Amino acid sequence: MNTVLITGANRGLGYEFVKQYSQKGFNVIACCRNIIEAKDLKELLENSNNIRIYELDVGDIKKIKNLSLELQDKKIDVLINNAGIYRSSTVGNINYDEWIESFRINTIAPYQIVENFLDQIINSDLKKVISITSKMGSIDDNTSGGSYIYRSSKTALNSMMRSLTHDLKNQGIATLTLHPGWVRTDMGGPGGWIDSFESVQGMIKQIDKLTLKNSGNYLDYAGKSINW
């Protein structure tokens, strides 16, 4: 049985990833910042025998390292960097502490997670690394400006993933950078075009198609290529 590790698993897209991968028969390592508050996730756990919940603050490198040590004997076939934050920003209205925080959570943490779980990924069968980004991280697609904090942190994430594509290929690891679409979640808001189920269902299809031959792509949930 294959294993998937998902960060930010307590709500929204992360929760839906846990739900759908569990139904696919994967062993699911569901990581969230606060287990006590993850009521929906714990309820899902009660009805499934292939889900394990672990507490992880992705912004804390010590906690990432400790979890990696705890799971050092596990094989992680699919690693999904889903945890992220959105901080609003406009010209003349930018909180620089929030900008730094966003880079730490949206860009640096995904790299640190891959780095610290690299052995578990190498020892797996599927060997896939996924990061959930946004179309707002596309420089080509930026025709409206604004959202300086979020855009720049996701653009940096895209660049980091592109480098991992080259550096991990010799170890048999394939990478994929995914835009979930505009989803009706706490982050996406009520005006989103699709719900979490449709988004995650589509993203899992793209993950299933991922091989070393098409590694390094930047796609949306429906498989459409996005310009960097």
pLDDT, one tens digit per residue, over 141-154 is 999 999 999 999 99
Q: Which of these CATH numbers, 3.40.190.150, 3.40.50.720, 3.90.1150.10, 3.40.50.920, describes 3-220?
A: 3.40.50.720
Residues in the chain: 228
Percentage of the chain surpassing pLDDT 90?
90
pLDDT, one tens digit per residue, over 181-190 is 988 655 555 5
Encoded tokens for 88: 């609003």
Q: Do residues 4 and 204 make contact, with C-beta atoms less than 8 angstroms apart?
A: no
d(CA 126, CA 147): 36
Q: Domains of the chain: which residue ranges?
A: 3-220
- Name, in order, each residue with C-beta under 8 angstroms of 94's C-beta and a sequence gap of 6 or more: 148, 149
pLDDT, one tens digit per residue, over 8-46 is 999 999 999 999 999 999 999 999 999 999 999 999 988
The alpha carbon of residue 90 and the mean position of all alpha carbons in its chain are separated, in whole angstroms, by 26
DSSP state, residue 93: B
d(CA 82, CA 215): 18
